[in-house]
Amino acid sequence: MKAVYQTKYGKSDVLQYGEQTSPVLKANEIRIKNYASSVNPRDWMIRSGRYQLQFLVPSFPLILGSDFAGEVIETGAKVKGFKPGDKVFGMKNPSEGLATYCDEVVAQAKNMAFIPKEISYTEAAGVPLCSLTAWQALVKKAGLKQGMKVLIIGASGGVGSFAVQIAKALGGEVTAVCSQKNSAMVSNLGATKVIDYHQQDFLQSEDCFDIIFDTIGRHNLSKCSVIMNPGGTYVSTIPSPNNLKAMASTQIKSLFIKTCKKAKVVMVKSDANDLQEIGKLILAGSIKPVTDQVFPLRHASQAHDHSRSLRAKGKIILEIQ
């Protein structure tokens, strides 16, 4: 199969394009013809050897990539509910082998769902990891309910753009933190208020929030508690020692003190049920994938450099077929 792979850690120039061995299909897995993948920040962290969970990363030759969108071409003996020709999408974590920067992907059936009819393979490839991160942070970690006030830090990025839409769709009142040049985009996605971090420190906001979702990971509960309502939740995408310690301590305190402000860390999990719920919102028009730029697979190194610039608005897609 054609793939982008690496045989050592380093900068984007370690990525190579060429032939790699097709993956073996297990009984609980599905083989798909992969039409598109996407670039996520953890891709270039893994590529450089600086990912926090690097010990879970497969050995060399390493094929990166978490998101996939394609057509089922073969199902394992124990797979039910899928057949050749079905259009599916999903994600793979490092412990699940990654390997979606290629034209043939094998993944567990429990980790994929049918692509909503409203979107293309290219759009679908940008959905799984980022939307699942946002969904699991807001719904599963923070317990988002209608009427809650939600602050999204990094609202114009891949995770942030989905978080704004999910929070809005589920009845939250959304304040977005991003640069002024992206304010119109996040407002169109559903943000009621936008804070330009170049002009204003959101920690000085007059508003207080029930949920603060930090998609960038540069803050923590201690900093953000000044603008959190009693019983509020701060969720970070970064499993730093500080965040993990705060999560453990506040989890215990919250059992005894209902007004305790809590810290959570979201570590995205492959979950077909969550992806199906997101798919329903896409079909309802409540969520629209936001694509920043599309690169051919062989130009994955350029896509990585663009992602590292942190200037992308929405998702960076790798077109494979």
Q: What's the CA gap between 301 and 318, in Å, rounded?
A: 11
All structural domains of the chain with their residue ranges: 2-127+289-319, 130-265
Q: Name the helix (H) or strand (E) containing 209.
A: strand 209-214
**Per-residue model confidence (pLDDT) at position 70:** 98
Instruction: Give the three-class secondary structure for 131.
Output: helix
The Cβ-side half-sphere exposure at 241, using a 13 Å CA radius, reads 0
Nearest to 307 by CA among 104, 90, 129, 97: 129
Q: What is the DSSP letter of 206?
A: S
**Per-residue model confidence (pLDDT) at position 310:** 85
**Per-residue model confidence (pLDDT) at position 259:** 98
Give the contacts of 291 (CB within 8 A, at least 6 positions apart): 122, 123, 126, 314, 315, 317
Q: What is the DSSP string of 69-102?
A: EEEEEEE-TT--S--TT-EEEEE--GGGT---SB
Given this structure, which CATH class describes domain 2-127+289-319? alpha beta
Q: What is the 3-state secondary structure (H, E, C) of 260-307?
A: CCEEEECCCCCCHHHHHHHHHHHHCCCCCCCEEEEEEHHHHHHHHHHH
Q: What's the CA gap between 268 and 284, in Å, rounded?
A: 24
CB 15 within 8 A of CB 297: no
CATH fold match for the domains 2-127+289-319 and 130-265: no
Other residues' Cβ atoms within 10 Å of the Cβ of residue 19: 9
Is the pTM here over 0.75, yes or no?
yes
What's the CATH architecture for 130-265? Answer: 3-Layer(aba) Sandwich (3.40)
Per residue of the chain (321 residues), give pLDDT as tens.
999 999 999 999 999 999 999 999 999 999 999 999 999 999 999 999 999 899 999 999 999 999 999 999 999 999 999 999 999 999 999 999 999 999 999 999 999 999 999 999 999 999 999 999 999 999 999 999 999 999 999 999 999 999 999 999 999 999 999 999 999 999 999 999 999 999 999 999 999 999 999 999 999 999 999 999 999 999 999 999 999 999 999 999 999 999 999 999 999 999 999 999 999 999 999 999 999 999 999 999 999 999 999 889 999 999 998
Other residues' Cβ atoms within 10 Å of the Cβ of residue 199: 8
Read off the amino acid at residue 73. Answer: I
**φ, ψ dihedrals at 261, nearest 5°:** -85, 130
Strand arrangement, sheet containing 209-214:
193-196, 173-178, 149-153, 209-214, 228-236, 262-265
**Per-residue model confidence (pLDDT) at position 311:** 86
**Per-residue model confidence (pLDDT) at position 297:** 98
Pairing of strands 209-214, 228-236: parallel
**Per-residue model confidence (pLDDT) at position 302:** 98
